[in-house]
A and B are shown apart, each in its own frame.
Chain A
Amino acid sequence: MITGRGGSGSRGRIRPPRRPVGRPGQPDDFEQCWDKLREALRDIHNKNAGDLSFEQLYRYSYKIVLKKAGNQLYDRVKDFEEQWFAEQVMPPIWALITKNLISITLDEAPGTSIAERRSMGEKFLKGVRGSWESHNMSMNMIADILMYLDRGYTQDCSRPSIYTTTIGLFRNHILRSGLGTSEPQYHVFDILNATIIDQINMEREGDVIDKALIRSCISMLECLFETDEEQEQERLYLTTFEPFYIRTSHVFYKSECERLLREGDASAWLRYTKRRLAEEAGRCQTTVSPLSIHKIAAVVEQELISKHLEEFLNLEGSGIRSMIDNDRIEDLTILYNLVSRIDPKKTALRNALAVRVVELGNEIEQTLRNTDFSIAQTSDSKEPAGSAKKMNAAAQQTAAAIKWVDDVLLLKDKFDRLWTTCFDEDLTLQTALTKSFSDFVNSFGRGAEFVSLFIDDNLKRGIKGKTEAEVDVVLDKAITLLRYIGEKDKFEQYYQKHLARRLLHGKSESQEVEQEMISRMKRELGNNFTQKFEGMFRDMSTSKETTEDYRNHVRGLGALEHNQIDLSISVLAGNNWPKEVMGRFTGLADGPKIKATYPREIQRLQESFFEFYTKNRNGRVLTWVGSAGTADIKCLFPKIPGKTTGPLAKDRRYDVNISTYGMIVLLLFENVGEDEWLTFEEIQAATSIPQPDLINALTSVSSLKPYRLLTKKSGESKESQANSAAKPTDQFTFNREFVSKTIKLRVPSVNAANKVENDDERKETDQKTIETRKYVIDAAIVRIMKQRKELLHSQLITEVIQVLAGRFKPDLPLIKNRIEDLLSREYVERVELSDGPPAYRYVA
């Protein structure tokens, strides 16, 4: 960037620099120069430099160096400083190191008050600081003057710079000097360190100390190095003070922690630890060195957090359990912050939370078992459940299921709240919480059923009068729970069943919400899962159209004979609907299907519809499912002779809505005379209704007080069991004295309410689940094998489990069993390997 100008010698010759030496009137001689410099050094030390010319002094050292006398100057300066030290700096320091100070700091002699100790320590530290600061100042100035020495000599001879050397004198002559004969093993260092630590400990105990003073002493140690090479890692602070500081801090916090542990208050411990951490960080900035900020934090973390974390968490009454139970948000927040410091995985906290979740989950189950649901809850929460014992028990169970779900949701809400407010929405913790929830939900065994019941309950009644947003919350909750459930296929079954009842009995509160629920499940679990549900909805809407068409058709025919009976029909595709609704399950059990005998009017109606239906759809078979339908009938109860007052004195007309079977049964009594009784067998023979359905139908019209259209006479004991379910030995007659406050009656079907299954039903469901699973596993295996052609046994198992994980957790024996089965059916064959692991090949 700098160029010469002009050609060579075109404008005069290059002027030689003047020789800097040999001018008259100037001291050129080394001794002369040194004398001047020495005086200047003394002046500088005495803070008397105001009249000195920097340029002059700089020039002296410049000249000495140019004369190649740099080494002499270097040594002279060093000697001068050593001497200066011995004469001027040391004595005041020695004066400060009294016997008393030594005994306090090093031997921790008792009998001195804190105030005494503090003032003595401060005095010593002030002395050290003063002498250091003036030394450092002087050395800086001297080094500036001698700058040319450093540049021209020290660097070339690779000696430490003049500043380093002279500053090192402080270390060698003060800090490293022994304490004389009395305590030969100690150095001034030890006193200095011990004094500083003593002061720091005083502050930890709550005293006020001179922070700035300590900070300057520490920065002195930061400026000094072990050797004159000035290695970064060899700062005296790092080599001598810090280890000592860390060690004493360990001791201090260890004893503190033990004290806290004895006191046994985790809440106090949390706050104490938080405060200490902040204090230590602050102390590093203001009093000690920022270099130690992490190390000292590590000390606190180790002593106060890591070492006894488990013990504090397990403390009775204030540990994590009580924090969670009492929603001690602040405690948990601190706890989270502390634990995150020592362990990014937060293992301890995670485990504690997981354990607590499972405990609370099991508690819910426990409470459930211990609560008597026959009181209060049932009467208002269930639709008029009446008082039949069977119903009652079932209703109780259903209430229990709802309560279980509610409790689980409450628990979930609680932990969600803790998670957002206290745990910084930590992902590891979320995973752990989700896992624990899903663990206890699945360990409960009836989770799938209960969740479906919960949704059922809400869709039937819960969402009535709720705003869209509130409904949304309910749906979200349901989906949340659904996520926890491992056996999705089981849930699917239950939901299918419950949904079928809701749809067929028109109990669903809102079609929209139903659809919304399904679409949410679809989003969550995929198309496959909701296929059947959607099919059910489709069936319902086509049925509506069909019904409409049929009505038009009938009207067009002008078939007046049927105008008394209005038909509303649901044509259900067999695959989408649960078997029990389709009546097939019981049908299978009874061998050849028994058709109920419908009254003639109804039969005609059925035929007419069938004719209509098959006109457009060839080859379809319609099966009438009596158990799933309802009928509206008008009943006339003639006035009772002899009664002149009260409702019995008049004719009573009621519109009765009743199940199809119930309708068939009631129609039987149309022609039955007064005081004529029909036995159960007679009814069964006349109607061919399967026995369980008949029991239900009879029970619903004979047991419940407000709906007792028939009077029942028990075969064994007389009226004593009026409230109990109908039995095959009972006899029935038309209840002429029936009275109801409302004109329209809706006789509840015993089976219509979705409720918890009893043990037998559950066994059946489980059996069904396993049956279904067999097919699902078969399909999975075949799909995998078709794709892979050949696969090792273990790999096949892994893949199958992977594929099915979304639906349920298949157990190994079942999979093996299915593989065996497929082998025998020749879908796959064994690959004969001489000594390899077992493998299979797909047979096309």
Chain B
Amino acid sequence: MDVDSSSPSKYITLVSSDGFEFVVMRKAAFISPAIKSMLDPKSQFQEARTGRCVFEEINGIVLEKVVEYFHYWYKYQDKEDVPDMEIPVELCLELLTAADYLGLDSKERLLPSR
């Protein structure tokens, strides 16, 4: 992934609908194309300027799991034989929705941005 080296901070903040804030490594969060475009410094949207993304559709519990996945992915992205990540069964449908929203289902995350 190409990360703009001039970007202000290595970390960004993700905010859930119920006000929980998660500080995430920028590179880890970029697995989501939605978040990546959101923070694209070229576009100068609000989020890109502040480094803070508010998700009004995702609650804290789900976002926590999402963030956990970001780091899980980031840590193991090019390793083999990685341990399983724990997914609470009761959350899985909500997580699926969130994943869809954030574009985590697509192969595009490996493609360079336009």
A contacts, CB < 8 Å to B: 1-6, 11-18, 20, 49-56, 58-59, 62, 137, 140-141, 143-145, 147-148, 151, 163
Measured between beta carbons, the chain A residues less than 8 angstroms from B93 are 14-17
Given A17-B96, A53-B54, A58-B34, A140 and B85 contact (CB-CB distance below 8 Å): no
- Chain A residues whose CB sits within 8 angstroms of the CB of B114 once the complex forms: 140, 143, 163
Q: Are A12 and B90 in contact (CB under 8 A)?
A: yes
**Considering residues B44, B54, B93, B94, which has the most beta carbons from chain A within 10 angstroms of its beta carbon?**
B44
A-B contact pairs, 27 of them (CB 8 A): A1-B82, A1-B85, A2-B85, A3-B84, A5-B86, A5-B89, A14-B92, A14-B93, A15-B91, A16-B93, A17-B97, A20-B57, A49-B43, A50-B45, A50-B49, A53-B45, A53-B54, A54-B45, A54-B48, A55-B38, A55-B55, A56-B56, A62-B101, A140-B43, A144-B38, A148-B34, A151-B106
Contact A53 B92 (CB under 8 A): no
B57: A residues at CB distance < 8 A: 18, 20, 59
B19 to chain A, nearest CB (A): 15
Q: Mark B78-104, 1 if CB is under 8 A from A, else 0.
A: 000010111111111110110001010
Closest B residue by C-beta to A167: B114
Residue B7 lies at the interface, judged by CB distance under 8 Å to chain A: no
Q: B40 near A11 (CB under 8 angstroms)?
A: no
B13 at the interface (CB under 8 A from A): no
CB within 8 A of A54: which of B37, B42, B87? B37
Contacts of B46 in A (CB 8 A): 50-54
Q: Which of A3, A12, A144, A151 has the most CB of B within 10 A?
A: A144
In the complex, A253 Cα to B40 Cα: how many Å?
Answer: 46
Seed contacts A54-B47, A55-B53, A59-B56; 9 additional CB < 8 Å A-B pairs: A3-B85, A5-B87, A15-B90, A50-B45, A52-B46, A53-B47, A55-B38, A144-B40, A144-B43
Are B44 and A50 neighbours in the complex by a CB distance under 8 Å? yes
Considering the complex, give the chain A residue whose CB is closest to the CB of B15: A55
Residue among B34, B55, B84, B103 having the largest count of chain A Cβ atoms under 10 Å: B34
Does the CB pair A49–B94 fall under 8 Å? Answer: no
CB distance from A65 to the nearest CB of B (A): 11
- Residues in A with CB closer than 8 Å to B106 are 151
Q: Given A50-B49, A141-B43: A147 and B33 within 8 A (CB)?
A: yes
Most interface-central of A1, A6, A62 (chain B CB within 10 A): A1
| Residues on the A chain within 8 Å of B44, using CB | 49-50
Q: How far is the CA of A490 from the CA of B58 in the complex (A)?
A: 100
* Contact status A11-B96, CB under 8 Å: no
Cross-chain contact of B42 among A1, A3, A140 (Cβ < 8 A): A140
A145–B48 alpha-carbon span in the complex (Å): 13
Residues of B within 8 A of A1 (CB): 82, 84-85
Kindly provide the distance from the CB of B21 to the nearest chain A CB, expressed in whole angstroms: 14
Given A14-B92, A58-B34, are A52 and B45 neighbors across the interface (CB < 8 Å)?
A: yes
B42 cross-chain contacts in A, Cβ below 8 A: 137, 140-141
Q: Are B90 and A147 in contact (CB under 8 A)?
A: no
Q: Are B43 and A55 in contact (CB under 8 A)?
A: no
Docked complex Cα distance between A20 and B85 (Å): 27
Chain B contacts of A55 at CB under 8 A?
Answer: 38, 47, 53-56
Complex: how many Å from CA A49 to CA B44? 6
Are A147 and B37 CB-contacts (below 8 A) given A50-B44, A53-B45, A62-B101?
Answer: yes
0 or 1 for each of B15-46: is its CB under 8 Å from A? (1 = yes)? 00000000000000000011001101011111
- The docked-state distance in angstroms from the alpha carbon of A14 to that of B92 is 7
Smallest Cβ-Cβ distance to A48: which chain B residue: B44
Contacts of A6 in B (CB 8 A): 89
Interface centre among B38, B89, B90 (most CB of A within 10 A): B89
* Chain B residues whose CB sits within 8 angstroms of the CB of A2 once the complex forms: 84-85, 87
| Chain A residues, Cβ within 8 Å of B86 | 3, 5
